[in-house]
Amino acid sequence: MSEESFDAERLEELLRPVVDRHGGDPLQLVQILRETQDVVGYLPTAVLTAIATALRLPRAQVEGVAGFYSFFHLTPPGRYRVLFSDNITDRMLGSGELLDRLCNKLWIERGKVSEDGLLSVDRTSCTGMCDQGPALLVNGQPLTHLSGERIDRISELIRAQVPLADWPAEYFRVDDNIRRRDSLLATEWPAGEALRAALARGAEAMLAEMKLSNLRGRGGAGFTTAVKWESARRAPCHGEEGLRYVVCNADEGEPGTFKDRVLLSSYADLVFDGMSVAGFSIGASKGLLYLRGEYAYLLPALREKLERRRRSGLLGRALCGQVAFDFEIDIHLGAGAYVCGEETALLESLEGRRGIPRIRPPFPVTAGYRGQPTVVNNVETLCKAALIAIRGGAWFAGLGTKQSTGSKLLSISGDVERPGIYEYPFGVSVEQVLQDCGAGNAQAVQVSGPSGVCLATHEFSRRIAFEDVPTAGAFMVFGTHRDMFEVARNFAHFFKHESCGFCTPCRVGTSLVANCMDKIAKGLGTQYEINQIFKIHRLLHAASHCGLGQAACNPLFDTLQKFRPAYERRLCSLDFEPAFDLDQALAAARQMTGRNDPGAHFGLAARLPGVAS
Amino acid sequence: MKQASILLDGLPVPFDAGQTIMDAALAAGIFIPHLCHHPAFKPQGSCKLCTVKANGRYVSACTLPARDGMEVENNTPDLNDKRRTLLQMLFVEGNHFCPSCEQSGNCMLQALAYELEMLSPHFDQFYPNRPVDASHPEVLLDFNRCILCELCVRASRDVDGKSVFSLSGRGINKHLIVNAESGRLADTDFDWADKAAQVCPVGVILKKRRGFAVPIGKRRYDIEPIARQVESLAARRADDMGHGD
């Protein structure tokens, strides 16, 4: 669509229903941008102006929000927008070659839109399909199990401009791959079971059960859920509205994690029950599920689930016949920003702004969504809360270890025979997990994603638990044939791409370390770069605004400690070597003058007979 | 009741309820390096130059409320080393050529680099492509020097009520934008009399047809190092007009 086609009248016609659907609320800006883009195809300047006018926001603010998220396009992205998942596990399955293959087939350069506006091909951060990769998103829809043959077929479908709806359905198949079930996955509870159990207990008693259970947050940080709930319950509401909120963090962006996808696909009622139980316990009447943009394909099914709950009295006014309890759930879609998994950045995004982590204190339990007391819990945490409502806190506390009660869902991918979801009671050893998933020759496991920890073989006896190796769920296995330097380099680029840019150390530091890693990869690295990485690691750890920056160098630090030879065999000398290569820089001049004699070369290359560059 | 105080590098520094470590230090005439902080605006804590160690933890002095008895390290080799690295990051991220900059001598970034003895940019330059905006009749925007402190954003929004400036992009691609569909300052309601025109700590927002009115060598930070100008840094208010006029 060209810019010219947007006359004021047509714009009004396109925008009005979207803006009206959100009551003209500027806090819904991210949702409004998303839905507008769905209608228009992208977000041209005139559209941003019109949205700003309709919401009475400064235009620059609207542009600033649109410019923050990866999935918002300020220029036409092509009618087919292909995004290859760029997690290390996808790369290990050959996604790099497949991307090149598609680009070659369609005569297109990565990152550019084809001249006819038909398509663009690029990479995106992990799409959460690591157990069935390599994966990609085409116009937001996930494609799994890519192969050379599939890529060829996809290139034909795109060239023939076949609508996505007519592509083979099996391309879009997403499997649960549940390989081990424990206390959570073993039983399927009917919708509303947990909510009714909580209502029968009463809010105070429910909180007491939560305390007894000692449930800790499953998103990684491991904060005690009952403390969060109690603080939010006790915190005063502000203003006339006086509402509390429950937010379900389904922005599952940590590379290698996909457990929340499975819970939302096959246990959605348990998630909604968990949100309702939390709402009942803290006195909230509104729940918000923040779904990562990569999982937008789950939206229709989730909406339908909510509708069914509404019809059966599990949602809306006077739930389950309890006159005093109303609870509504809305789903918000993210738009491609890993940092929004941080709870205060998530709240900013929910309020229609750039996903920048807030200054704390105040914490969300006292001033969260719209400044009101807000509980933000991970998808898995809320499922566990629902279980506690049904089966009681004492039962839950009897599972797992003393400080890590209950079970944990692991998302296992990489060099294993049976990738997928494994549920274990906390305290299971890494060794045991590796045995169960068929990891024969593991040299390393990245637990809890790039921001977690990299374990080497001598650490495989350690246990998955908050008191030993805490995790948000990712469990990526690397066989002995893998290059741990390339693993770390992939993670360094991930953090560079996902840094929100708010604070100096993370914004610049993530770029600097990614550059260091690229320089080492090119064979130009020295001990100097290694020292730089350590120095920047210390700075980011100390001075970054949020956990993303603080953790950004962890994978480099870990692999430098444990897999030093993977780095050192690439170093060209132990002294400093500049990244700038004068002989390489002369290549363009050589090409223009048609020369390749020693006199057209510089340095070592000039002395070697018959060099070509 | 006894006045509450923090221990700043071993020195008792009193504070009032609600004050941050930075507020207390500025009031006591103690210098904590900073760029994005300005006493007239809501603190935001993004430049991280004011990183101090409070009770053993690294925190931003401009955003952390002071607490009675808090022990704060400020002027230590470790912290100054980290601050120097942050300055080097800011220098290589943008295009900063002090010798040809109209704000040389009035620039906080340059003044802090001298203060913290930054001898070189150390890292490889990023050389970003940031075209200048010369569309406005009175004002030139040289984005090459922007350090993303958001002071103009805050001033325009909170004092001028215009929201002329905003940030767009993410990560290393974050950049300053203006409030116009054309992306040009001339198409906004920006005015040289705005507060936002006066708060840039570096040399982005410049008055046209005025150059070197005060000769280099006689400018604010040429005369005295920034660390000895705490009183005037603390006295900055929303309604005063700076800019070396």
Residues A137-188 have pLDDT tens digits of 999 999 999 999 999 999 999 999 999 999 999 999 999 999 999 999 999 9
CATH tag, B5-79: 3.10.20.740
Mutate to test the interface with A, among B108, B170, B202 (most CBs of A within 10 A): B170
Inter-chain residue contact A497 with B171, CB threshold 8 Å: yes
User: How far is the alpha carbon of A545 from chain B, nearest alpha carbon, in Å?
Assistant: 7
Which residues are bridge partners to A147 per DSSP? none
Q: Do A511 and B171 touch (CB under 8 A)?
A: yes
Residues of B in contact with A70 (CB under 8 A): 170
Residue A104, CA atoms < 13 Å, CB-side half-sphere: 9
Contact (CB<8Å) B177/A64:
yes
The per-residue pLDDT for B243 is 47
Query: CA triplet A599, A601, A602: central angle to 5 degrees?
Result: 110
- Nearest Cα of chain B lies from the Cα of A93 at a distance, in angstroms, of 28
How far is the C-alpha of A62 from the C-alpha of A46, rounded, in Å? 12
Q: Could you give the angle at the alpha carbon of A358 between the alpha carbons of A381 and A335, nearest 5°?
A: 65
Tally A–B CB contacts below 8 A.
117
Nearest residue of A to residue B87, measured between CA atoms: A504
Most B CBs within 10 A among A53, A342, A503, A540, hence the mutation to make, goes to A503
pLDDT digits (tens, 9 = 90+) for A181-190: 999 999 999 9
| Cα distance between residue B4 and residue B11, in whole Å | 13
Residue with tokens 């006689």: B218
- For residues A501 and A356, the answer to whether their CB atoms sit within 8 Å is no
User: For B202-241, what is each residue's pLDDT tens digit?
Assistant: 999 999 998 889 999 999 999 999 999 999 999 988 666 5
Of A59, A66, A543, which has the smallest distance from its Cβ to B86's Cβ? A543
Question: Helix or strand or coil: residue B240?
Answer: coil
| CA proximity to B89, closest of A553, A488, A555, A539 | A539
The sign of the dihedral angle between the CA atoms of A79, A80, A86, A87 is positive
According to CATH, what is the number of the domain B100-234?
3.30.70.20
Other C-beta atoms lying within 10 Å of the C-beta of residue B237:
8
pLDDT, tens digit (0-9, with 9 covering 90-100), for A565-602:
999 999 987 677 777 888 888 899 999 999 988 888 87
Host H or E run for residue B154 = helix B151-154
Q: Where are the domains of chain B?
A: 5-79, 100-234
- Contacting residues of A for B171, CB less than 8 Å apart: 496-501, 507, 510-511
* Average pLDDT along chain A: 94
Residue B174's closest chain A neighbor by CA? A501
How crowded is the C-beta side of A355, counted as CA atoms within 13 Å? 30
Residues of B in contact with A499 (CB under 8 A): 170-172
Given this model, what pLDDT does residue B241 score?
55
Which residues in B lie closer than 8 A to residue A359 (C-beta atoms)?
43-45, 63
**d(CA B223, nearest CA chain A) in Å:** 29
Contact A61 B126 (CB under 8 A): no
Q: Do B48 and A511 touch (CB under 8 A)?
A: no
As a whole number, the mean pLDDT across chain B is 95
Nearest residue to A370 via CA among A234, A546, A243:
A243
Model confidence over B119-136: pLDDT tens digits? 999 999 999 999 999 999
With beta carbons under 8 A apart, name residues in chain B contacting A539: 82, 85-86
Radius of gyration of chain A (CA): 25
Query: In the prediction, which pLDDT does A608 show?
Result: 54
Distance from CA of B175 to the nearest CA of A (A): 9
Report the C-alpha gap between A84 and A98 in whole angstroms: 9
- Cα A58 from Cα B23, distance rounded (Å): 31
Closest residue by Cα to residue A332 from A378, A293, A372: A293
Residues of B in contact with A501 (CB under 8 A): 148, 169-174
Q: How far are the Cα atoms of A431, A432, A449, A552, B56 from residue A436, in angstroms, in the given order? A: 9, 6, 20, 30, 43
A604 band by pLDDT with thresholds 50, 70 and 90: low
Written as six digits, the tokens of A269 are 């009622």
CB atoms within 10 A of CB A493: 19
DSSP type of residue A385:
H
Q: Whole-model pTM? A: 0.94
| Residues in CB range of B129: below 8 A, 6 or more apart | none
Q: State the SS3 of A165-223.
A: HHCCHHHHCCCCCEEECCCCCCCCCCCCHHHHHHHHHCHHHHHHHHHHHCCECCCCCCC
